[in-house]
Amino acid sequence: MLDRQTEVATSVAERTRLRELEETYCSHGDTVHYTQEPKIFERCEGSFIYDDEDRAFLDLQMWYSAVNFGYANPRLNEAMRRQLDRLPQVASQYLHREKIELAAEIAEGALARFGHKGRVHFNVGGAQAIEDSLKLVRNACDGKSLMFAFEGGYHGRTLGASAITSSYRYRRRFGHFGERAHFVPFPYHFRGPRGMTKEEYGHHCVQQFARLFESEYNGVWDPKAGKCEYAAFYVEPIQGTGGYVIPPANFFPELKEVLDRHGILLVVDEIQMGFYRTGKLWSIEHFGVAPDIIVFGKALTNGLNPLSGLWAREALINPQAFPPGSTHSTFNANPLGTAVALEAMRMMQEEDFATSVAEKGARFLDGLNELKAKHAIVGDVDGLGLALRVEICEPHDSFTPSKAIVDRMVDEALKGDLVHGVERFGLVLDIGGYHKNVITLAPSLTISHAEIDLALALMDQLFTRVTPR
């Protein structure tokens, strides 16, 4: 008993020391201090992350969908160790086997899926890959710098990415953005007009966008020259930070027809939804359209050495169109990242994630629907594969957004005192949505059925705990 008391006292003292150092020396600009005292974690494994008292927290957001294959995945960790012992560093003006084979794997897969030959270009973070794609688009479109993007869309917080991300709060302190995107409504059916089916609302949204091209007086189209002022449309097939909003099946095929008629490129941001999060390698595959550019990152290395990149059609990215030096990053295509990514791509070929993710997602969504029927604070649930959403609302109408309840929910989940059987657990949740009232669920793709059931049981307790009385 005394040993345990000593351990707890030591843990508390160390936590206090770390918090004092963090408060004094760490910028809050590079992290998100949503809670007064952000949790300090010590280790992780599978679907769980552990604090300094070794209490287990079931992680249902997996580092914003970066750790699709589970924390401390033995196979991917071993791939990094092998590369560390063989070729851990090499400057980006030289080649190494892993970069070449990874690019070929992604490009050959895109050819098979979309029917277009293309090439792959690497960087180190999602926003950096978005920046590279903006250069690629502007280069291909005679320097046009204006883009379409969606309300609720998120593409990163570098300056260029902020210009095509709909939230003004990411731009507000950094001056005027003259090349800010034209933001178009996304078919967010739960908060759309009443009386329309999901498909009808999707069609309505496309038709509203198409109206921009009816005449020159709508401001984007010159019918005499047949030219649009805007170069590309940046889309997340499933909105990420916007709250895992899932569009109707007819939306993207109809939108692509409008884009093709007016010579507008389709750039698909798969940074959060790529690599089988939705049950397919690329979430855009669910909608049967071929993109011009795909931007990817996050789960490609399972959250290990950062790596991101883009795939683009040959006409946009061949060496004559986009020559050496068009972009550069010291650490792009780094050998540790490409080695882990190549092993991850092999795992995705060998394991039937298309089937397992769809099956697990259906099980999870069924459970969420049961929670919706039980708890008035749950206004909407939806999902595609293991990208799932729970929209939290005021209980009097199950519709009015309630950021306050969600904030309490996240804090309560991190206390680590939810009970299941004889054990206590915490939950790691992420907040998204237009009103910051959506719990966005991105569990590990390797999550077990028992862990899904545990997640639902803990969420049931949590919803009861935070419901106003």
Q: Please give the pLDDT value at position 292.
A: 98
200 by Cβ neighbours in 10 Å (0-12 / 13-18 / 19+) ranks as middle
Amino acid at 227: K
pLDDT of 21 > 70? The answer is yes
Separation between Cα atoms, residue 461 and residue 439, nearest integer Å: 15
pLDDT of 12 > 90? The answer is no
pLDDT of 35 > 90? The answer is no
| In contact, 79 and 54? CB cutoff 8 Å | no
Q: Please give the pLDDT value at position 5.
A: 63
312: β partners: 119, 293
pLDDT of 464 > 90? The answer is yes
Dihedral-angle region of residue 371 (phi above 0 means left; psi in -120 to 50 means alpha; beta otherwise): alpha
For residues 245-266, give the mean pLDDT.
Answer: 98
- Would the CA dihedral through 22, 27, 32, 36 be positive or negative? positive
Q: Please give the pLDDT value at position 37.
A: 80
pTM for the whole structure: 0.96
Amino acid at 412: E
How does residue 11 score in pLDDT terms, banded at 50, 70 and 90?
A: confident
| In contact, 361 and 441? CB cutoff 8 Å | no
Q: Please give the pLDDT value at position 346.
A: 97
Q: Please give the pLDDT value at position 171.
A: 96
Tell me the pLDDT tens digit for each residue of 403-423.
999 999 999 999 999 999 999
pLDDT of 1 > 60? The answer is no
Tell me the pLDDT tens digit for each residue of 59-74.
999 999 999 999 999 9
